[in-house]
Each structure stands twice: as structure tokens, then as C-alpha cells.
Amino acid sequence: MPKNIGFISTRFAGTDGVSLESAKWAETLWQDGHVSYWYSGKSDRDPNISHCVPEAYFGHPENEWINRRIWSTTNRSQHISERIREMAGYLKSTLYEFVEKYQIDALIPQNCNAIPMHVPLGIAVTEFLAETQIPSIAHHHDFYWERPRFSLGAIKDYLDMAFPPNLPMMRHVVINNAAQEQLSFRKGISSLMVPNVFNFQVPPPQPDEYTKDIRKEIGLAKDDFFILQPTRVVPRKGIEHAIKLVAMLNNPKCKLVISHDAGDEGMDYADMLYELAEQEGVDLRIIATRVGEVRQLNAEGNKIYTLWDIYPHADLVTYPSLYEGFGNALLEAIYFKKPVVINRYSIFIQDIEPKGFKLAVMDGFVTSSLIKIVDKIMNDKNFCKDMVEHNYEVANQFYGYDVLKRSLQTHLTSLFGNNV
């Protein structure tokens, strides 16, 4: 029997992991006839099936005011507690409106009870679920104990209560084995491990008339070797290793292109990368001003491309991350059948590497043996083709929509029995 499913998050917009994976969950649920609705503070979903509450966005001024006073300190005043409770109470009332408006049968909180970027929203969701006993599946992408910025704070009571809560009608999903182990150890909560997925049953889109000039538009020649770093410019992405890789290839035709900018994490790291690239003689370019969420023209009349427009034109993808909760960019590169240079970050070692992918692997630093593999990728088309085709098949087996569908059916059955 189809259900009305309500997704809850601080934001459903853009290309962050929560927004992307929630859309995949909704698509998978739709295959079984379930209809999805969206509650958030910022949204790019269809307004006809969305309930947008600005105060639920983590960037709302009231929430930012609270965050400035609860982190990097252990002291919390009565006034701050009152502001948190007032906002949580208001958000809880809007959750009641959302569920009533769309006759929601089950809720899927997306990371809002895992990472405390919006503490009042986490409290609101917890109290709402405790009061209504509505069945829910909490999808946790990353927890507060995984982020140093949340290691010192004045809200331990709220973290214990709501991040995440342990409620009888709530099921929990995590995206890696380490999170599953820590959730059990820290909270006594059992969970199902469901990795991020891609629809490998549908072939990747091919370049079209709009994208045929991408290389020219970003300043690459036809015979340049296009090395794509498809991430934001933040320290945990380990982009300095990608620069070192290109430098050791010692080929002026190799160009390193970063798709996104630094965002709100400052420009110090980006400045360091530019300096390092200059010292190493590496042609580095950040094309963030030409990459957006949708195709359009900017104020100068230049084309804006999506990341999916960029992937088909790349010759190699670098992913030398120091830490990832999972690694969406890895799956994207495999989906577009691109060879990948990857660093063995902890989740990759534990969850992904045992699956048997063929990748150019580094273990914390670039070596001459890695350079030989990349050089073979560049010059041996059959070697490269065998690598990417093998990876596509492995990814389809372990990270396809069928994996997600079976997992969701398991949790829905545990909540509704055979009436689903």
C-alpha cells in the first residue's frame, strides 16, 4: 500500500550530499508507488509538494546567532536556552502543519538529527516524533563526533537527546561501517548501513551541442590531458596531492582543473594551492565561476555548465581526499567511466576498497609507482577502457539503486508490516 513520505532537512537544494541522496531515495520510493514531500528551510524541489520554512535553514540569522554562542564554549546562559527552545517550539508547530497538509504516513529526517548545524530543528524533529509516534527512518550522513568543530560545545544535553534520538518508531540508516559502529557504541542504537548509490542501470548522459565547447571555454587545447578535481577547495580534499601528481607527470599537456571554489571556509587553502602550483610548474585553474547547479548564461553572456556537463570531457579524475563520509565524487567518476586517482582515506579502506575496484591508489602521498600507473592510463587506451568498464560493473553490483531499494523495503516493512 503506497505511503506519503515526508523528507525533513535544513536544506534540499544544490549538490550537497544530503540533497543528492534524498532525491535518489525519493526516486527509489516512487518506483514502489510511494509519494515524497519535502520540508526544509531552503528548497529547489517542486513547490506543490514542498513546505519551506525559512527558519529551518541552517543559515537563518536566528540559528547563526545561536551557533555563535553554543560552540567553542561550555557555558550556556538561560537566555540562549530560551532562544533555542522558542525556535524549536515554532519549528515543531510547522512540522505538525507539514504532516497535516500532506497527510504524511512516515518521515525521513535527512541528517538533521546527526550533525548539529541547526540544533533547534533537531530538537523539534525529536519532540515531534516522540509526541506523534509517526514511523520514521533517520538517514545519517555524518555525526557531530566526526567533526572537530563540534568537539567543544555547551549543548551536551541536547546532543544526548536529539543527535540522534533513540525512539521506538524510528529506524536508523548510516552510510558507512565506521558510523554504524560508533552509533552503536555511543548511543546504543542499531542501524542499517546503506551506502550512497547511483542509477547505474541508466547510462551516463553524453555531450551535446551545449557542452561541445567546454574545453575551449575553460582554456584547454584539444590535445591537453584534462585532469578534473570535482570538489570544493577545502583542506580535507587533499588537493595538494593532485598538484604533486601533475608535477611528477612532468607533461605540460596535463592540466589540473578544480570544479568548485572554497565556499564559506575561507581562501587561505586556495591561496596556498595557487602558490604550490606555481612553485611546481603546474597549470592549475579553478572554474567555479563557470560551474553551477543548472545550465544558464552569466552576466557576461558566458555559459554556465553543470558538473555533469564537465565529467564527460575529463580524461582523469583526482580524488586524494584525507577524509570522506563516503565519497560521492568517486561514484560519479565511475558512473561517467573515468579513471580515478584516489587516496586511501579511512572509509575507502574499510567499505569501498574490498569491493575490488581498479583504481590508481595512493596511500597518503604520491609515489613513482602511482605515476607509472597514471602514465599507462594516459597512453594505453585498452588498459584504461578495461579499468573503467570493470569499475562500472562493480559499482552497479554494490552501489546501484537495487541495493537502496531492498534496504528501504526492509525498514518500511519493519515499520508497517506487510501493509506497504
Residues 42-87: tens digit of each pLDDT = 999 999 999 999 999 999 999 999 999 999 999 999 999 999 999 9
Residue 199 burial by CB count (10 A; 0-12/13-18/19+): exposed, middle or buried?
Answer: middle
Model pLDDT, residue 340: 98
Q: Please enumerate in sequence order all residues whose Cβ is within 8 A of that of 377, keeping only pairs 6 or more positions apart, or say none.
A: 316, 339, 360, 383, 384, 387
CA-to-CA distance for 295 and 309, rounded, in angstroms? 9
Mean pLDDT rounded to a whole number for the chain: 95
Q: Is the pTM of this model over 0.75?
A: yes
Query: What residue spans in the chain does CATH classification 3.40.50.2000 cover?
Result: 4-197+401-416, 214-399
Model pLDDT, residue 264: 59
Residues 228-255: tens digit of each pLDDT = 999 999 999 999 999 999 999 999 999 9
- Superfamily of domain 4-197+401-416 in CATH is Glycogen Phosphorylase B; (3.40.50.2000)
CATH code of the domain made up of 214-399: 3.40.50.2000
CA-to-CA distance for 383 and 43, rounded, in angstroms? 43
pLDDT score of 265 more than 70: no
Residues 283-294: tens digit of each pLDDT = 999 999 999 988
When pLDDT is averaged across residues 337-343 and rounded to a whole number, the result is 98
